[in-house]
Structure 1
Amino acid sequence: MHHDPLLPPAVARALEEYGALLAEHGLTWGEPPLDYVRMMTFLRFPKEAERMSVAPGADLDAAFRDVLGETLPDGLVALRVTPHGHHFDPGTVHAVVAARPVEVTLVVDSSRDTATAVTVDGRPYEIAARGALLVDVRSDSHVTVDGVPVDLSPLRRHAVPSRLRLRAGFPCRWSVTSKGGQGWYPEGVPRRLDYHGRPFFHGDDIVLDVPAEPLTVQVTRGMEYDWAETTVVPEPWGETRVELTPERIYDAAARGWYGADLHVHLNWAGDLVAPPAAAALMQHGEDLHVLNLVAGNVSGERVYDREALQHWAGRDLPWSDAGHIARMGVEYRNDLFGHVHAFGVTAPPMRYHTGFGGEADWPPNGAACGEMRESGAVLGYAHPFHRSIATPEDIIAEGRRNCSARAVVVDAALGLVDGMELLHFSDIEGTVEVYRRLIGAGNRLTALAGTDSMLSFTRQETVSSPPGWERVYARLDGPLTAEAYATAVRRGRTFATTGPWLELSVDGHQIGDTLNLSPGDRVTVRARAIGPEVERVEIRTADGVLAEGGGGELTAALTVTEPTYLVAVASGGGHRRSLHRQVYAHTSPIYLDVGGRHVARGEDVRWCLRWLVLLEELVRGQARLEGEGQLRDHLDLIEKARAVYRARL
């Protein structure tokens, strides 16, 4: 019997299980309702979700309804229930050219002082007095209010059909929109939206049904390319060919650099089940050199894509080629101490998470890191921080289980992790501030990037953007392999970026190198950024900004008196090439050792020592631990890290 190489039997069975969970529970797949699970439904409308009040025990459907303005966001329709009846507001009317129903989210908004019975496709709901309900519907759904049918026909208008054939000459990311920004997709393709709400799909030589109306066609291929765009009015009932090729801005591989997204989930709850073939199509369509698909849990025991990891651990995934490597990896998760991504694992780990469902926050993250390190993995703390950070107190805060990388101060000092994601879906400035404190305190940490894209979501802020919208580029000495990439990361030969190309050199030495200097030596530092979105370039030492300027090239001289490091930063405001609220790139350091001493800036070392004091208080006061032995395991690692930092003073 012939098996699809992308669907080994165990993987196929797992996907069937996920499909059953989706059918039974909807978007959350029945995961325990931690805060981020409860918010999944609402994050499809990020501007509204940001304004919601999400206090513990809050009615989130009503909180969402309360922040809606007069104009509904795209994809949302409203059913207003009044004391005198009901009114359906279709929001943006969708054009249709075939029998496929329109899929939208319905908010039921009751202004009645009594409860109301609503059914959606036979499923009953009771809407509390002045309450609300958020539920997914289709234009052919059967919805009733107190038994009275709701007319959903205003959702659609019929348009004259036509067809488009799209060609670029290689796999790309396409966006086809008609008036009002409505997206058009090939038959059977998920209707994905990126961070900007822009529809997209991947491939080449693609045919899709469209209306015979003015259309905007856009195409790109990941961050090394710009967007190309054209407008077209297809012939009624005919087929119109569009040949459009995006222009390359830079070619990293030609320079020996390869970009990776080290943190991507195939399945992690969501509105569809994503097979491995979806990842293959996206990786090639984004020209993403290295893709790390991580197995991980959400809020319960189930580890999604564990079967794929068990099948492919230590091997390239079947669609890999000379310019594209895909591997199965791990996201090890503890919400109190932080999450760690692992690339290049050769065997599944013994454990994937701690601290969920009432289980103990044990063993410490460092123990799990050590185990995954033994299997050859490169490790990085994932989405480390989610707010501005000025002091160690900001890191510990009130000790909420919010995935902050509180244990990185220990694991970095003990050499148990290789780096941290400077770029991720959340706050960049706070993360970068902590990173500079850690490397200033003498820790050798590589700048990494991981989007946390989840291919099982088609629209949810950054999560539904394609993999590789942030990347960590690493400089290799030879051909692209997983092992060569891992080696380059361990050596710190990287920069992380939302799009711009970023270079840094010191007297000809490259990112990741160490110069051995004497007091009074003078060096020349050069930084260069490429990309239309760059507005500012900085060169920084452990003491702060050495030089700054607009986009382009920057040169500075430095007379060295103390050990330090040098990094380059490129930044800018929002830009269509960036699937984040800002543009940003940051290199790993070039280290300047002086008189045989490595950088260990006193202020940064004391900052980390204060962090350890607060971390110990957190462990003693808020970690779920079973017995003195588990507490001692945590405190022993903290004490070992404390000894490392004290020695650096």
Structure 2
Amino acid sequence: MSARARRAGLLSALAAVGLLAAGAAGPVPERSRAAAHGSEARYVVELEWPRENIARTLGVARSELLMYGRGNPFQTRDIGGRTCVVGPLFALDIEDAFAFDIDEPVDLLITYAPELTGTFSVGFNDNGGDGIGESEPVEPESGPTLATARVTLDRARFAAHGIRGTDLAIGGSEGIALCNIEVERSHATPVPAGYGTLRLSVEDGATGRAVPARLGLYDATGRAPLPSERSVLVHRFVDEVRLLWVNPRTWWPSEHRLAFYVDEDYEARLPVGSYEFVATRGPEYRGYQRTVEVRADETTDLTVSLERYADLPAAGWYSGDSHVHIARDHTEDDAVWAQIAAEDIHVANLLEMGNIAVTHFKQPAWGEAGQYVREGHALVSGQEDPRTVQRGHTIHHNLQRPIRQDPESYFLYHRVFEESHAQGGISGYAHMGQLFNGERGLALDVPFDLVDFIEVLQGGRLYDDIWYSFLNLGFNVRPIAGADYPYFGPTLPGVERTYVKLDGPFAPNEWYNAYRRGHTYVSNGPFLEFRVNGREMGSELRVERGESLEIVAEASLNPDIDRLNRLELIVHGEVVATEAAAGSDRIRLETRIEAGESLWVAVRAFGDRDGERDMTVAHSAPVFVVVEDEPWWKLGAVPDLVARHRAKLQELLTEPIQPAGDLEYWETTRILEEEWEQQRLRLEPRVREADARYQALLDRARAATTATSS
């Protein structure tokens, strides 16, 4: 992985937890909220800073060009006779009449005030490669009131790929005082020799049925032509875009990483030449890649037949993404559906995202009225709310109506969990239970059997430590996975997904029912099958003490995504058996273990990509083996695990709130500060009751230990 890719991964993770937010507090001006689709969940301030060839200047916390900002509030200051804008990160829109969709070196003359400027760089969309460029860092001069740096952007594009249709991002971790910018074109953009037409259709290779897909098209230099209006118009926050960046964690057959979606067929007028063409449709399909020739004044017809690597629905397995943020104005949104179906996601949980002040990514209807089911792919309304930096982000699926908390009771999460369950909903914690202090919330809510799941796979990372800690205390908490589109990278829907086994035909409600029974696994690539004595993952199996348990597990991995590495058998969180792939894309593990006590058993599979934050992985829900009505806890670990979660309960009451770490800090800081202390007092009885439940669990474990030893 390149240094820039590593930096992008780190920045995306930090941005997701609110650690790279600009330091300005206070409301965003109302004019910056006006947008084409939904409300703006990003920090955006429109600045009055007219400059030649610059249509707009925005103060932002993220650019959608892999640059993020933090630091002082945005302000305008007179420095050295110049009007300067001061802040962490600026997004600039180049006048289209001056330069739009070009392909040439461009020089920027950036005038700045060194005293108020740290090391900075310029992010831009470029041609070729992954489509996102970044200049070399500029070290500020020392001494002068104003200084000017010349920055050359190689193969600059200026095609409105940044936030709110901007083209450039300028900033750095210590901020910048930007006093002027001049844009000098080289006018070296190649002139096409002519144009032809490409007309294509996409079909499933087995059925011949027309299907949506994600496509890439690149000329001999790696440039991706702007998609035509026959492509799908995609919602990214409030932006509406056709060309999206495919981040390095996302499977893609080409080294070039700009892609677009089509709903079955596509047509575009293109410069003549030879093109690399690629198509994908999620991990169950093989990648498609070929060369396409476009000739002057001719139409090239192409039928793309996507072949399956695996047909999981035929075996009853249907994928879902637990965590997608796309606003809908109406239920039957065919553009949103096409993006989801192009990734072959069967259930997309479209989450309204609330905080203590407002709600973003609004949905038009709830329950069955909010479900849009077409050709086996469903859009379903849900909510990620409540969310705070003090006790984590929660998710609630399959709701009949949204559940709103007043600011005066916002931290009392249990009320939302209880209402969700009363509606037949499924509820849990997002972001691996780790980010935004989610472990505190879990420590409080799990003892009351309110938590159905933890989102254990996200951002290219499996984080099972917190999940295992609750399984080892005897709680049935299921795994779930979600991409958190358009955050985390940004990512694309379905990069991480949850597979659920249905006994009959697909329907969203049946998917949720099967998930509730635990017939599920999470994956960003590998496929799993797993049985204990013939019982599916998620089952409870009652046996006699000492009985032999037959374990049969299988893993497979589309070789276009990664090479399969190994399959592991997990008992009480420990690896007890491993089967290596030995170069194959399939593994079968058969073994027997003895049920000397109650326990939980699961499997996980890995590809060769196996880093701390970038792995190809799948993990099953456990099979719970019960011996003589004993809990499936890991008895010897109970005292330490109880101490761990009781400490988190105390943190919840004693640690001061840090509202600057809230993701929408500009909307929430004042209210969080005003409400937390009073609501902390209201949480104290709940914390005491949870603590008592941990104590009862500990007492029971000590009694069981004594009985066993005697």
Whether these two folds match at TM > 0.5 is: yes
Identify if the C-alpha distance between structure 1 residues 628 and 158 changes in structure 2 by more than 3 Å, giving closer, same or farther: closer
- Report Cα offsets for 1:520-572 as digits up to 9, x if no partner: 21112111111123211101101511211223111121012111111110112
Question: Match for 2:382 among 298, 305, 329?
Answer: 329
Flag the 1:599–1:627 CA change in 2: closer, same or farther, 3 A: closer
Q: CA deviation at 1:599?
A: 0.8
- Cα distance in 1, alignment partners of residues 456 and 184 from structure 2: 49
User: What are the residue-to-residue correspondences of 1:398-413 with 2, within 5 Å?
Assistant: 402=436, 404-413=438-447
1:175-186 aligned at under 5 Å gives the runs 175-186=216-227
Match of 2:361 in 1: 305
2:505 aligned with 1:449, yes or no?
Answer: no
Task: Tell whether the 8 Å contact from 2:430 to 2:455 is kept in structure 1 after alignment.
Answer: yes
| 1:247-258 matched pairs, under 5 angstroms | 247-258=307-318
Counterpart-to-counterpart distance in 2, 1:88 and 1:291 = 43
Secondary structure of 1:573's counterpart equals: strand
1:637 and 1:243 map into 2 onto residues whose CA distance is 63
Partner of 2:511: 485
Give 1:243 shift. Answer: 2.1
Q: Give the SS at the match of 1:90.
A: strand
Cα contact 1:410–1:638 (8 A) shared by 2: yes
Q: Distance in 2 between matches of 1:23 and 1:512?
A: 38
Does residue 373 (structure 1) correspond to residue 421 (structure 2)? The answer is yes
Q: Per the alignment, do residues 376 and 40 of structure 1 end up closer, same or farther by CA in structure 2, a change over 3 Å counting?
A: farther
Alignment partner, residue 473 of structure 1: 499
What is the aligned-residue identity percentage? 20
Shift of 1:277: 3.6
Instruction: Give SS of 2:294's match.
Output: coil
Match of 2:62 among 22, 37, 41: 41
Partner of 1:384, secondary structure, is helix
CA contact (8 A) 2:433 2:454 kept: no
**How far apart, in 1, do the equivalents of 2:686 and 2:188 lie?**
57
Which amino acid counterpart does residue 546 of structure 2 have in structure 1?
G
Equivalent AA in structure 1 for residue 576 of structure 2: L
Residue 89 in structure 1 maps to residue 104 in structure 2: no
Q: Cα gap change, 1:441/1:90 in structure 2, threshold over 3 Å: closer, same or farther?
A: same
The amino acid across from 1:435 in the alignment is W
Q: How far 1:154 sits from its partner (Å)?
A: 4.4
One-letter identity of the residue aligned with 1:44: L
**What's the counterpart of residue 635 of structure 1?**
687
Q: Partner residue of 1:571?
A: 606
Does the 8 Å CA contact 1:619/1:634 hold for their aligned counterparts? no
Match of 1:383 in 2: 431
Structure 1 stretches of 5 or more lacking a match? 1-15, 32-36, 97-101, 110-127, 134-143, 387-400, 455-459
Structure 2 CA distance for aligned equivalents of residues 155 and 641 of structure 1:
71
Q: Structure 2: where are the runs of 5+ without partners?
A: 1-30, 47-57, 74-85, 90-116, 160-164, 204-210, 234-241, 249-255, 582-586, 658-675, 702-710
Separation (CA, whole Å) in 2 of partners of 1:27 and 1:274? 24
| TM-aligned CA deviation for residue 504 of structure 1 | 0.8
Q: Is the 8 A contact 2:346 2:376 kept in 1?
A: yes
Relative to structure 1, is the Cα distance of residues 379 and 461 closer, same or farther in structure 2, using a 3 angstrom cutoff?
A: closer
Q: Does 1:613 align with 2:646?
A: yes
**How far apart in 2 are the matches of 1:589 and 1:206?**
44
In the aligned structure 1, how far is the partner of 2:614 from the partner of 2:700? 38
Q: What are the within-5 Å matches in structure 2 for residues 199-238 of structure 1?
A: 199-203=258-262, 204-238=264-298
The alpha-carbon deviation at position 93 of structure 1 amounts to 4.5
Q: 1:108 and 1:643 mapped to 2: Cα distance?
A: 51
CA distance in 2, matches of 1:218, 1:255: 28
Looking at structure 2, the residues matched to 106 and 55 of structure 1 have their Cα atoms a distance apart, in angstroms, of 15
Equivalent residue for 1:422?
A: 456
Q: In the superposition, relative to structure 1, how do residues 318 and 414 fare at CA in structure 2: closer, same or farther (>3 Å)?
A: closer
Q: Aligned pair in 2 of structure 1 residues 605, 67: CA closer, same or farther (>3 Å)?
A: farther
Query: Counterpart amino acid of 2:450?
Result: L
- What is the Cα deviation at residue 157 of structure 1? 3.4
Could you state the TM-score of these two structures normalised by the residue count of structure 2?
0.69
* Counterpart position of 2:403: 349
TM-aligned CA deviation for residue 405 of structure 1: 3.6
Which of residues 146, 164, 168 in structure 1 aligns to 2:202?
168
Kept in 1, the 8 Å contact 2:122–2:170? The answer is: no
CA contact (8 A) 2:601 2:624 kept: yes
CA distance in structure 1 between the aligned counterparts of 2:408 and 2:158, rounded to whole angstroms: 53
Give the superposition deviation at 1:640: 4.8
Provide, for residues 137-158 of structure 1, a one-character-per-residue CA deviation record: whole Å limited to 9, x for no partner.
xxxxxxx947xx5323548433
Q: What residue identity is the alignment partner of 1:229?
A: Q
Match of 1:287 among 333, 344, 347: 344
1:438 matched to 2:453? The reply is: no
Instruction: Identify the residue that residue 65 of structure 1 maps to in structure 2.
Output: 120
Alpha-carbon distance in 1 for matches of 2:33, 2:443: 37
Q: Which amino acid aligns with 1:324?
A: H
Tell me if structure 1 keeps the 8 A contact 2:323–2:349. yes
Query: Bigger CA drift: 231-240 or 629-638?
Result: 629-638
> Does 1:645 pair with 2:704?
no
Q: Which amino acid in the other structure matches residue 201 of structure 1?
A: F
Number of residue pairs matched?
548
CA distance in 2, matches of 1:263, 1:23: 17
Pair 1:339-2:369 in alignment: no
Per-residue deviation, residues 614-649 of structure 1 (Å, max 9, x unmatched): 223222222522167514344244235424533551
- Equivalents in 2 of 1:491, 1:23: separation in Å? 35
* Counterpart-to-counterpart distance in 2, 1:473 and 1:611: 31
Question: Secondary structure of the equivalent of 2:476?
Answer: coil
- The answer (yes or no) to whether the contact 2:600–2:623 under 8 Å persists in 1 is yes
1:147-158 paired onto structure 2 within 5 Å: 150-152=183-185, 154=187, 156-158=189-191
Which residue identity is paired with 2:472? G
Determine if contact 2:371/2:378 at 8 Å carries over to the other structure.
no
- Distance between the aligned counterparts of 1:633 and 1:377, measured in 2? 26
Whether the 8 Å contact between 2:38 and 2:360 is mirrored in structure 1 is: no
Could you tell me how far apart the structure 2 residues matched to 1:87 and 1:451 are?
39
Q: Distance in 1 between matches of 2:72 and 2:32?
A: 31
Q: Deviations over 1:301-356 (max 9, x none)?
A: 221133x2xx41112546413522221100011222111111110011022xx8xx
Query: Given residue 168 of structure 2, which amino acid in structure 1 is its aligned partner?
Result: T
Change (3 A) 1:642 1:525: same
Change in Cα spacing, 1:193 to 1:132, as seen in structure 2 (3 Å) is farther
Q: Deviations over 1:336-391 (max 9, x none)?
A: 2111111110011022xx8xxxx6684432222112221221112111255xxxxx
CA distance in 1, matches of 2:555, 2:38: 47
Structure 1 counterpart of 2:259, one-letter code: F
Q: Per the alignment, do residues 60 and 86 of structure 1 end up closer, same or farther by CA in structure 2, a change over 3 Å counting?
A: closer
CA 1:511 to 1:40, structure 2 compared with 1: closer, same or farther past 3 Å? Answer: farther
Using the TM superposition, give the Cα deviation of residue 183 of structure 1 relative to its aligned residue in structure 2, in angstroms. 2.2
**Does residue 107 of structure 1 match 2:107?**
no
Cα RMSD for the two superposed structures? 3.9
Q: 1:590 to 1:38 in 2, by over 3 A?
A: farther
Maintained 8 Å contact 1:95/1:157: no
Report Cα offsets for 1:460-516 as digits up to 9, x if no partner. 653342x11211111112222222112111111100000211111112111111211
* Alpha-carbon distance change, 28 to 566 in structure 1, aligned in 2, over 3 angstroms: same
Alignment partner for residue 541 of structure 2, among 506, 515, 534? 515
Structure 1 contact 76–107 (Cα < 8 Å) conserved: no
**Do the aligned partners of residues 464 and 648 (structure 1) sit closer, same or farther apart at CA in structure 2, a change above 3 Å counting?**
same
For 1:639, the aligned partner's letter is D
Q: Is the 8 A contact 2:215 2:260 kept in 1?
A: yes
Give yes or no for the alignment of 1:598 onto 2:631.
yes
User: Which amino acid is 2:527 matched to?
Assistant: W
Query: Distance in 2 between the 1:30 and 1:300 partners?
Result: 21
Query: Of 474, 485, 489, which residue of structure 2 is paired with 1:462?
Result: 489
Distance 1:448 1:410 in 2: 20
Asked if the contact 1:574–1:583 (Cα under 8 Å) also holds between the matched residues in 2, the reply is yes
